[in-house]
Amino acid sequence: MTEPRNDGAMGKHAARGRRSWRDGEKGQALVEFSLILPVFLLLLFGLVDFGRGYYTWLVVTNAAREGARAAAVQSDNATIDAKLYGSFCSGYPSTSNCAIDASKVSVTKTNVQGTRGSETSVRVAFNFQYVTPIGNIMALVGGSSISAPTIASTSFMRLE
């Protein structure tokens, strides 16, 4: 003969509380969110900074081309600078309304007003800075950080 089981009120509640804590899914969403958040932010910040970097590359390339064209028609240094900076600053010589920060731009010109038929070159470099904390997130996710690049373009043209 088996004895009737005597689970007191305390025993029933303790077992039910322990079971629901183990079998519940209340913390699962929080754990999954905390695992995927760094990857999601890395993608989002990467898109933002990639778009800015691509735009900056287009502006720097166009500025080098404009400067080389001005140099190719035997312009002096001041005219070359005016054409070059004027390609991304709407009110040059004022640099208050520029597509990129003019103080971070460096320009190198070679063979300005040289002999006709020879080659002139204009190199424009820009020290790009990230606006998002992508380097810190890369260090968190992958263990290494990324440094801000220097975006540069060189344009060559024959002197006319």
Residue 4 lies in a domain: no
Asked whether residue 153 is assigned to any structural domain, the reply reads: yes
Q: How far apart are CA 123 and CA 125, in angstroms?
A: 7
Domain count for the chain, please give it.
1
Q: Does pLDDT of 124 surpass 70?
A: yes
The pLDDT of residue 112 is above 70: yes
What band does 125 get if pLDDT is binned at 50, 70 and 90?
Answer: very high
- 132-144 pLDDT per residue, tens: 888 777 777 676 7
Spatial CB neighbours of 32, under 8 Å, sequence gap ≥ 6: none
pLDDT at 10: 56
Asked whether residue 102 is assigned to any structural domain, the reply reads: yes
* 76 found inside a domain: yes
With a cut of 90, say whether residue 38 has pLDDT above it.
no
For residue 127, is it within any domain?
A: yes
Task: Tell me the per-residue pLDDT of 91-106, one tens digit each, with 9 for 90 and over.
Answer: 787 778 889 998 999 9
Please check the confidence at residue 108 and state whether its pLDDT lies above 90: yes
CB-CB contact of 94 with 88 (8 Å) = no
Helix spans in 24-159 (H): 28-72, 77-86, 134-142
Residue 10, CA atoms < 13 Å, CB-side half-sphere:
0
Q: What is the percent of the chain with per-residue pLDDT over 90, rounded to a whole number?
A: 51
Question: Is residue 10 assigned to a domain?
Answer: no
Task: For 43-75, write each residue's pLDDT tens digit.
Answer: 899 899 999 999 999 999 999 999 999 999 999
Q: Across the chain, how many H-helices and E-strands are there?
A: 4, 3
- Identify the CA nearest to 50 among candidates 153, 127, 134: 134
Rounded to whole angstroms, the Cα distance separating 83 from 70 reads: 7
Could you tell me the residue range of the domain that residue 51 belongs to? 30-158
Are the CB atoms for 109 and 77 separated by under 8 Å?
yes
> Is residue 17, in this structure, part of any structural domain at all?
no
The Cα 103–Cα 38 span in angstroms is 33
Structure token digits, residue 131: 């606006």
The reply to whether 2 falls in a domain is: no
Burial of 71 (0-12, 13-18, 19+ CB in 10 A): buried
